[in-house]
């Protein structure tokens, strides 16, 4: 049955929010939007390996899109996507708790795996990381970003990762991000009805490769700075 047909409640109208399937679809769509964003963001930061001028030019291009308005439109869109994703996740979690107020006497997870069962906890780490990351390398909050200079993206990038605590937190957060990407791609394809023994191996491979790509690229940055490769 097509996924949208499963959300039809009555009168031929689609009730996404009152349907658990509809909310799962919203989770899948917004989650995939975040996966796409973090992938492009990770690859865009590869300009750091081309030198300070290349990364600063890339940052200036982003800031100057649509005469400076494009970056703000993008930020508001991403904020809306984040709020929808978070609200939907909380709603589904509360529904699950309400359906099983006492829980199982003995848990024997079948389809669920350790990545999916850790989503609630890693999500808290990722939420904290997003806030710190924005304060650190976008806002330039002096408490955690001493020496921050607007217009010097490369310098801020390098100075930021010269702090061992920040770099370690960045690495840990990206490991959590990898779990989210793996589970997100797996769940997204399943929500769209692509779950089938014939395709499960391909879905698992795609989720693993994609998550490893983003993790390895992102983690390479603090390691490169701490090792002196980027300075």
pLDDT band at residue 16 using 50, 70 and 90 as cut-offs: low
Contact 47, 55 (CB under 8 A): yes
Top-ranked range on mean pLDDT: pick from 5-19, 75-89, 152-166: 152-166
The domain in which residue 40 lies consists of 23-102+112-226
Instruction: Please indicate, yes or no, if residue 194 is contained in any of the structural domains.
Output: yes
Average of per-residue pLDDT across 174-178: 94
Q: Which residues pair with 14 in a beta bridge?
A: 8
Task: Quote the pLDDT of residue 156.
Answer: 95
The answer on pLDDT for 155 being more than 60 is: yes
Average of per-residue pLDDT across 203-229: 95
CA distance 30 to 80: 9
pLDDT band at residue 192 using 50, 70 and 90 as cut-offs: confident
SS3 220: helix
Average of per-residue pLDDT across 80-94: 88
pLDDT one-digit tens code per residue, 110-126: 444 666 677 878 888 99
Query: Which segments of 45-108 does DSSP mark as H helices, in order?
Result: 52-63, 70-99
Instruction: Please indicate, yes or no, if residue 71 is contained in any of the structural domains.
Output: yes
Instruction: Please indicate, yes or no, if residue 126 is contained in any of the structural domains.
Output: yes
Instruction: Please indicate, yes or no, if residue 150 is contained in any of the structural domains.
Output: yes
Contact 121, 89 (CB under 8 A): no
Q: Specify the pairing of strand 8-10 against strand 13-14.
A: antiparallel
Contact 149, 217 (CB under 8 A): no
From the DSSP assignment, how many helices (H) and strands (E) are in the chain? 8, 2
Evaluate the CA torsion angle 74, 75, 77, 82 in order and state its sign: positive
Query: For the chain, what is the domain count?
Result: 1
The answer on pLDDT for 179 being more than 80 is: yes
Task: Quote the pLDDT of residue 50.
Answer: 96
Give the other-Cβ count within 10 Å of 29's Cβ: 16
Prediction pTM value: 0.83
Q: Which residues pair with 13 in a beta bridge?
A: 10
Task: Quote the pLDDT of residue 68.
Answer: 84
Instruction: Please indicate, yes or no, if residue 125 is contained in any of the structural domains.
Output: yes
pLDDT band at residue 198 using 50, 70 and 90 as cut-offs: confident
The answer on pLDDT for 170 being more than 80 is: yes
Task: Quote the pLDDT of residue 117.
Answer: 72
Tokens describing residue 161: 């990762």
pLDDT band at residue 5 using 50, 70 and 90 as cut-offs: very low
Query: Looking up tokens 């980027």, which residue turns up?
Result: 230
Instruction: Please indicate, yes or no, if residue 3 is contained in any of the structural domains.
Output: no
Contact 3, 192 (CB under 8 A): yes
Average of per-residue pLDDT across 99-108: 57
Instruction: Please indicate, yes or no, if residue 8 is contained in any of the structural domains.
Output: no
Instruction: Please indicate, yes or no, if residue 208 is contained in any of the structural domains.
Output: yes
pLDDT one-digit tens code per residue, 21-52: 778 888 888 988 999 999 999 999 999 999 99
């Amino acid at each position: 049955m097509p996924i949208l047909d499963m959300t039809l409640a009555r009168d031929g109208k689609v009730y996404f929010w009152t349907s658990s399937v509809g909310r799962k679809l919203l989770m899948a769509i917004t989650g995939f939007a975040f996966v796409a964003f973090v992938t492009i963001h990770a690859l865009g930061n590869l300009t750091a390996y081309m030198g300070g001028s290349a990364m600063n030019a890339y940052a200036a291009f982003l800031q100057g899109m649509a005469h400076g308005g494009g970056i703000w439109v993008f930020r508001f869109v991403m904020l809306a996507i984040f709020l929808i994703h978070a609200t939907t996740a909380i709603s589904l979690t509360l529904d699950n708790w309400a359906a099983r107020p006492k829980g199982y006497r003995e848990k024997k997870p079948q389809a669920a795996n350790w990545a999916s069962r850790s989503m609630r906890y890693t999500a808290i780490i990722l939420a904290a990381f997003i806030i710190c990351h924005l304060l650190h390398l976008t806002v330039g909050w002096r408490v955690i970003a001493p020496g921050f200079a607007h217009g010097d993206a490369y310098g801020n990038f390098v100075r930021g990762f010269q702090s061992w605590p920040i770099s370690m937190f960045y690495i840990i957060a990206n490991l959590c991000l990898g779990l989210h990407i793996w589970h997100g791609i797996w769940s997204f394809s399943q929500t769209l009805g692509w779950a089938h023994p014939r395709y499960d191996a391909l879905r698992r491979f795609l989720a693993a490769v994609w998550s490893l790509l983003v993790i390895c690229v992102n983690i390479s940055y603090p390691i490169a700075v701490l090792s002196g490769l980027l300075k």
